[in-house]
């Protein structure tokens, strides 16, 4: 099953040395997961000050500097995993250095249909009215 681990933390809580150590430890975990065939992708994000947000309203594009939401924790990176279940995703997330200073949101991916059928709300339980897939 595919899971996305979204890394949230307050960018200002990391010293330069802590951030560098976080990257070193994270790269080692990535290498291990890749060797096991469990890592589909991962990357830190540039600082929130480089973010741009877009909204489409009434056919008009609204572009804003920064993230849409003002929060103390910002999205700082992600891991995309291919693991057996949520328990395995949780075990991996608990090893990640950012877990000690922030929050790791773990979400299963909703697979798209693999045939030529056009996806409808029925393919996505949350859109079809069932909020508990």
- Residue 131's pLDDT is 46
pLDDT at 114: 77
Q: List the domain boundaries for the chain.
A: 2-111
What local confidence, expressed as pLDDT, does residue 132 receive? Answer: 44
Task: Look at residue 81 in the predicted model and tell me its pLDDT.
Answer: 98
Q: What is the pTM of this model?
A: 0.79
Distance (Å, rounded) from C-alpha 79 to C-alpha 7? Answer: 8
Check: CATH 3.20.20.80 for 2-111? no
Question: Residues of the chain whose pLDDT is less than 70?
Answer: 67-70, 116-133
Burial group, residue 9, by CB count within 10 angstroms (0-12, 13-18, 19+): buried
Check residue 6 and give its pLDDT: 97
Task: Transcribe 68-118 into DSSP letters.
Answer: SS--SSEEEEEEEEE-SSHHHHHHHHHHSGGGGTSEEEEEE--PPPSSSPP
Query: What is the predicted pLDDT for the residue at 71?
Result: 72
Given a contact cutoff of 8 angstroms between Cβ atoms, the answer to whether 89 and 106 are in contact is yes
pLDDT of residue 133: 43
């Amino acid at each position: 099953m595919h899971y996305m681990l979204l890394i949230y933390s307050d960018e200002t809580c990391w010293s330069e040395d802590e951030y560098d150590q976080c990257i070193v430890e994270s790269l080692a975990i990535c290498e291990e997961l890749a060797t096991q065939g469990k890592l589909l992708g991962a990357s830190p994000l540039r600082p929130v000050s480089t973010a741009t947000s877009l909204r489409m309203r009434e056919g008009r594009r609204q572009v804003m500097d920064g993230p849409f939401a003002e929060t103390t924790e910002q999205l700082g990176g992600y891991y995309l995993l291919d693991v057996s279940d949520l328990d395995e995703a949780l075990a991996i997330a608990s090893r990640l250095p950012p877990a000690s200073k922030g929050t790791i949101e773990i979400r299963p991916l909703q697979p798209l249909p693999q045939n030529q059928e056009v996806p409808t709300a029925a393919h996505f339980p949350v859109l079809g009215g069932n909020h508990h897939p």
